[in-house]
Every structure is written in C-alpha cells, then in structure tokens.
Amino acid sequence: MLRTLIIDLNKLRLNPVVVTQVREKGHLTRPRLRNPYWFVRKERLARDTTVTTENKAFVKEIIKDKYGPPAIIKGIPSYDQSALIKTEQYERQPWHEKARRCGLIARKIGQYPLWLKNGERIRTTLLQVVDNHVIRYIPPHEYKPAQKPNVANLNKYGCLLVGAESVDPSTLTKEYCGLFRDSGVMPKRNLARFIISPEAAIPAGTPLNVAHFRAGDFVDVRGKTVDHGFQGVVKRHGFKGMPASHGVTKTHRRPGNIGGGGEKGRVWPGTKMPGHMGNRWRIAKGLRIWRINTKYNVMWVQGSAIPGSTNGLVYIYDTILPLRKHKTAPPFPTTFEEELEALTGPSDDIWYEDVHSFKDDTITFQPETN
C-alpha cells in the first residue's frame, strides 16, 4: 500500500533538468507584420438568388435614402452625396518646400497628341481623376505602420486615406463599409493611402479634383504594368532568338548560353531568363502636365508609356525628382470645389503656356528679318 503510494508520488515528482525542445522558437518573438486596418475583405459573396425583385428595389430605396440618388459627376457614374458631407471648420496653413502633399487616384483613359506653340507634336496620356474623396486623416503620432514605407523621418508624417469611385454598398462587406462610416461619404471601390505632412491634412469627406495639380507641374505616376504572364526571353527581354533554319533545331526562341564555366561556373544572379512579365508596380517619374480639364477631371500628362492598361488605375503624386519639384506654392493642401470657378473662368480647360490650344489660330512662323 505504502509502496504503491511512494511510486505514485515518484511519478508526480517534477524533474527540473528536463528541457522540452521547441524548434524555431524565434518566430514567436518576431514582430508581426500586421496589415493596415483598411485591408479587409471587400467583395461580399453574392447570394442574390433568394432576393426577390421587391427586396432589391427596397435595398435600392434604402441606398437612395441614405446616400442620395445616382448621378453622373464629372463624367463618372456616382451618387449625389451632397446631403452626406459634413462641413468642418478648417484652417489653411502656408506651404513650405519640405511639405508633402496628398496625391490622387486616377484612371488612364487613353492617349492622344497635343501640339506645342512651336509646332512640335507631343504625345500625351489622359488621366481622369475618378470621384476622389478624403476618407480619413491619421496624424503622425497615431500612424505607426507595421510595414514601414520607404520615407525618411516617417514619424513626422501622417497618413491620408483617399477613396475613389463610389459603389453600391450592398455589394460590399459590412467591415469594408464600416471604414467609411465616419467620413461622410459613400463606400468607395478603391482606397489609397498617401503619406503627408500634418500641414497638408485635409478634412474627411472633402472631394479631391484634378486642380490639385496645376498645368505645368511635374508628377510621378504609379501604376501596375500590363500583365503578360509567363514569357520567354524574346518577348520579355528582347533577345534575338536563333535562326529559323540553317540546321537550327528546337532552339529558335531560346536564350542560348546562360553562364560561363571554370571559376565562374554558375548562373550569375540577375541573368535574363524567362519568367513572369508585367503586373509589377512601376513609377513613371517627372512627367509634365500639359493641360487640365476641370469639367471631366482630366489631366494630359507627358508621354505615352504610363504603366498600366487603358482604363487601369494609377496613382498620381508630386514628383520626387529634386529639379522638378514645386518652385512656387501649389494649391495647398488642395483646391477645394468652391475655388474651381475662379481658377478656370468660362472654359473648362487650363493649358500650359507652351501648348497650342485647339481654339487658337493656326501656328505661323515669322520669317527672320536680316
């Protein structure tokens, strides 16, 4: 009896030397890379089969009551949200050279040429600012992103959340719609964050328009390039391939040799090989704005090689190229809707001084007098 009890007690005794080995324990202490709070599931699973037409009409009615009737605003199907927008007391601050302004969300809508006053033809891309509204401003002391963007002195900058393109909220999830609850605007299809200095903060619910930039300014345009899928070297890197005939077999579009032997007997990093082409974020930097149309919120930007396909989303920033930064004060923090009329006058177009307006007379050159 006693013996068995002693054995049981022995079993219970804790051995202080035993170490349970846990592999790769380090992952527990690593900082977790959390996504920003606005990264939530957007699309709701559509189970509309059970919804009757009356119910659909009812949902539409609710949306109309809550957000306003559907309307086309500056060429873009949207909703008339004038009743929603809250007016806040807002105080402007002066611009200084170090200030970081907010950017815009736009769609690339096509290309066509413009002409300069000296008769030169330039190729331009049209970017349409699609129904942008400020959703929220996060001040510097609150903005602590887990994944740090590549910005010097990030602790001095805040973050501005901007949304583009109003959508029917019944197609979105509840969490996603919740992001917009305090902003006073409808849920938006696209969101972007811009890192700004606190002076450039804009109150939530403010619509952003193309007059945020002036004609003649330089911008950087960020977009996702056209996806080509997995491609060979001829298309991806412009290799020449090999001849179609003269005894060549099975190596017409192949890369050929990819490395030497001996000491360097390996494939060097960065060797051009087949792989996925396109669908990368790329920034076209330092593009001049030649013309601005405030009626349709369109800007004409230098060049025909803006990343992305036609009707694709792009993000427009003030350029970071040091020689092309703003010399004089831009609209700071932005151009509000009330100021638009004073800016454009009767016509909707603002032309850069070098560009020939189509309403002007034909270009003539003065013969030299000598």
Interface contacts to another protein, rule CB under 8 A? 75, 109-110, 112-113, 115, 118-119, 121, 126, 128, 293, 296, 298, 309-311, 356-367
For another protein, give the closer residue by CB, 293 or 302: 293
Nearest distance from C-beta of residue 129 to another protein, angstroms: 11
For another protein, give the closer residue by CB, 196 or 210: 210
Nearest distance from C-beta of residue 217 to another protein, angstroms: 20
Position of tokens 């900058």?
157
For another protein, give the closer residue by CB, 44 or 356: 356
Q: Answer for the pair 355, 124: CB distance below 8 angstroms, yes or no.
A: no
For another protein, give the closer residue by CB, 171 or 309: 309
Ramachandran bin of 99, using left for φ above 0, alpha for ψ from -120 to 50, beta for the remaining angles: beta
For another protein, give the closer residue by CB, 138 or 299: 299
Nearest distance from C-beta of residue 128 to another protein, angstroms: 6
Tokens of 135: 């959703």
Nearest distance from C-beta of residue 254 to another protein, angstroms: 25
Nearest distance from C-beta of residue 180 to another protein, angstroms: 25
Position of tokens 């890197």?
237
For another protein, give the closer residue by CB, 130 or 167: 130
Could you give the CA distance from residue 160 to residue 183 in angstroms, rounded to a whole number? 12
Residue type, 288: R
Closest CA to 125 of 308, 323, 359: 308
Compute CA distances 147 → 34, 169, 267, 315, whole Å. 7, 29, 33, 20
- Which run of H or of E encompasses 188? strand 188-196
For another protein, give the closer residue by CB, 75 or 145: 75
Could you give the CA distance from residue 288 to residue 218 in angstroms, rounded to a whole number? 4
Nearest distance from C-beta of residue 304 to another protein, angstroms: 11
Nearest distance from C-beta of residue 114 to another protein, angstroms: 8
Could you give the CA distance from residue 125 to residue 91 in angstroms, rounded to a whole number? 35
Nearest distance from C-beta of residue 222 to another protein, angstroms: 20
For another protein, give the closer residue by CB, 271 or 304: 304
For another protein, give the closer residue by CB, 118 or 147: 118
Could you give the CA distance from residue 299 to residue 289 in angstroms, rounded to a whole number? 7
Torsion, CA 237, CA 240, CA 245, CA 247, rounded to 10: -80
Residues with Cβ within 8 Å of residue 89, at least 6 apart in sequence: none
Tokens of 184: 């006073």
Nearest distance from C-beta of residue 274 to another protein, angstroms: 25
For another protein, give the closer residue by CB, 225 or 357: 357
Nearest distance from C-beta of residue 290 to another protein, angstroms: 13
